[in-house]
Amino acid sequence: TKLGVLVSGSGSNLQALLDACAQPGFPAEVALVVSNVPTAFALERAKKAGVASVVLEHKAFGSRADFEKALVEKLVSAGVEWVCLAGFMRLLGVDFLGRFEGRVLNIHPSLLPAFTGLHAQRQALERGVKVAGCTVHFVDPGMDTGPIIAQAVVPVLPTDDEAALTARILKEEHRLYPLVVKLVATGAVRLEGGRVVTSAGP
């Protein structure tokens, strides 16, 4: 299964996917990395892994539809079948999602539906929750609103600051995202009629 990974920043989740794909027998490979930020460290990670990458700056396009059209073109010509958002800081609309229907994943550093959007870990600390975590979900046009596939939970400790909680969650992200990619790549998990369907394994 050919993956396209969309990034805007550090790319530690991209790294987790690259590392998983390098394991023998893993049912997916990263065919293309796309960044909307030319300085994203994720691009270095792609290069180091020998994976093709491209920068598409959303600002360079006249409209969101034009940006998404270019994005789709790059991904399709690389043979991408599934798209993983990994710290990609743009919302995707129907132009994009229509083309990759039911095949776009995102990871978010909260136990959705709590704490959508930016600074989810800070929101969790401010709200005083005692557990936090991360979520991998199918992408719909909303912000962190699509059907949930899997979650991982971590404790929130009384001594936590934003950096400590972020690091604890990120460790789980790096475990969870490759796991979910494996499930979708083998067909064990899929989206049907807006719902997540799980088939029993062999």
Which CB sits closer to ligand GRF, 79 or 117? 117
Which CB sits closer to ligand GRF, 55 or 76? 55
CA–CA dist 24, 21 (Å, integer): 8
Which CB sits closer to ligand GRF, 24 or 173? 173
188, amino acid identity: A
C-alpha R_g of the chain:
16
Segment lying near ligand GRF (by CB under 6 A), choices 60-68, 73-81, 102-110, 182-190: 102-110
Whether 34 and 71 have beta carbons less than 8 Å apart is answered as: yes
Residue 119 C-beta: closest distance to ligand GRF, Å = 10
Residue 35 C-beta: closest distance to ligand GRF, Å = 10
173 counts as binding ligand GRF under rule CB under 6 A:
yes
Instruction: Give the position of tokens 């064990």.
Output: 188
107 counts as binding ligand GRF under rule CB under 6 A:
yes
> 59 to 98, contacts with ligand GRF by CB under 6 A?
86-87
Q: Annotated catalytic residue: which of 108, 119, 137, 174?
A: 108
* Ramachandran category for residue 30: left, alpha or beta (phi over 0 → left; psi -120 to 50 → alpha): beta
CA–CA dist 77, 52 (Å, integer): 12
Residue 202 C-beta: closest distance to ligand GRF, Å = 30
DSSP 79: T
Task: Give the contact letters, 143-172, x = binds to ligand GRF (CB under 6 A), - = no.
Answer: ---------------------------x--
Q: Are strands 195-198 and 189-192 parallel, antiparallel or unpaired?
A: antiparallel
Nearest to 136 by CA among 177, 166, 179, 83: 177
- Looking at the annotation, which residues are catalytic? 108
Residues at the site binding ligand GRF, with contacts judged by CB under 6 A? 9-13, 86-87, 107-109, 170, 173
